[in-house]
Amino acid sequence: MDVTRFHYGPNHPMKPHRLALTHALVVHYELDKQMQVHHPYRAKLHDMCRFHSEDYVRFLTRVTPVNVNGFVKTLPAFNVGDDCPVFPGLYNFCSMYTGASLQAAQMLNHNNCEIAINWAGGLHHAKKFEASGFCYVNDIVIAILELLKYHPRVLYLDIDVHHGDGVQEAFYFTDRVMTVSFHKYGNLFFPGTGDMYETGAESGKYYSVNVPLKDGINDQAYGQLFSPIMQGVMDHFKPSCIVMQCGADSLGCDRLGCFNLTIDGHGECVKFMKKFNVPMMVLGGGGYTVRNVARCWTYETSLITGVDVPDDLPYSEYIEFFGPDYTLRPDTSRGIENQNSKQFLEQLKITTLENLSRLDHAPSVQMHEIPPDLASFTSYQELKENQSPDERETKAVTQSRVEPQNEYYDGDKDNDGESVDPVNWQCGM
């Protein structure tokens, strides 16, 4: 079973099938020919336990729709229920999308690519001890922990309409990971975190950057915030690697979103970050109007590969999903009032840049020989040996390495199925 065939259940807004539509568009635009495409590693229990509690991960390995009644007392403890249901193949689903992000991290660590894409990943709400917001295993945190073995500073950027709370919480006390999230905040909007005054603590003070927005923000207003803030982040933090979560629920017309961004506006964020020429992992995330999710991630794949694609969609087995216009970048804005006043946005920008200015310099990390990669090397080597020569990655160049501090929070405690491998494209630009 591949990652597109899993199903959260009737009427659930999360649709893994959106990845099949994305894959079809990418292939029919022939963007896959501009990339190295790899069959992804499957994360094991010990990989997931790098961040999550063993009790929680073992629960995921055991629970099924058939035996779920035997876990009645355990389900609430792990926040598994309506939003995060038990569905057939749950653990395999987690293993696939998490393994793809983990392999992407290893590819970046070994200089096998400059940009790695895993549209199946980006499940940013999962917590150390529990599921949250349709997310079970936080592939982002696990991938960042792997990146920290080689990279002194990792930037996490989240443009999902929902706050990237699980990733922020994991790295709230460290200065080696800066988390930046642009999201809707207020009026009990999920997850309820991400106020601009959540700035980190202890060694991580001012390394959590939150840009809380109101309903209806459009491309122009979003860009006026995004560009100067991210320029400031890059200037002050100087990351050696970027992880970017590209949740498409920040588009207008999303089933669960409340922003007014177009696919062009969303893509401008990816284009802006790419220009820094810093190794980057690009992940999916939220997105609940399936046809627009596929359009958005396909367009951003074209931006990453540097290929201009026509707006008229190529014919594919899913072409009927994209009517009546059958275009790649339709106007997804809608008649929602932009509640973000110029004064509000200006104050947001000023406060955020002031906080960044309090970072005297990028934190330094003592260099050491690193331990083995997180994933099982035996399995990974077998995987590479079984690849065709056309798929096999180039030999990595060994570079200076960083001993991981592995600092993260350790307290108590976002539409519509055909077959394709997880959308994990490794891009050597």
Which residues are the active-site residues?
Answer: 125
Peptide bond connecting 324 to the previous residue in cis, omega within 30 degrees of 0: yes
Which H, E and C letters describe the chain, residue by residue? Answer: CCHHHCCCCCCCCCCCCHHHHHHHHHHHCCHHHHCEECCCCCCCHHHHCCCCCHHHHHHHHHCCCCCHHHHCCCCCCCCCCCCCCCCCCHHHHHHHHHHHHHHHHHHHHCCCCCEEEECCCCCCCCCCCCCECCECCCHHHHHHHHHCCCCCCEEEEECCCCCCHHHHHHCCCCCCEEEEEEEECCCCCCCCCCCCCCCCCHHHCCCEEEEEECCCCCHHHHHHHHHHHHHHHHHHHCCCEEEEECCHHHECCCCCCCCCECHHHHHHHHHHHHCCCCCEEEECCCCCCHHHHHHHHHHHHHHHHCCCCCCECCCCCCHHHHCCCCECCCCCCCCCCCCCCHHHHHHHHHHHHHHHHCCCCCCCCCECCCCCCCCCHHHHHHHHHCCCCCCCCCCCCCCCCECCCCCCCCCCCCCCCCCCCCCEEEECC
Are 210 and 163 spatial neighbours (Cβ–Cβ below 8 Å)? yes
Peptide bond connecting 16 to the previous residue in cis, omega within 30 degrees of 0: no
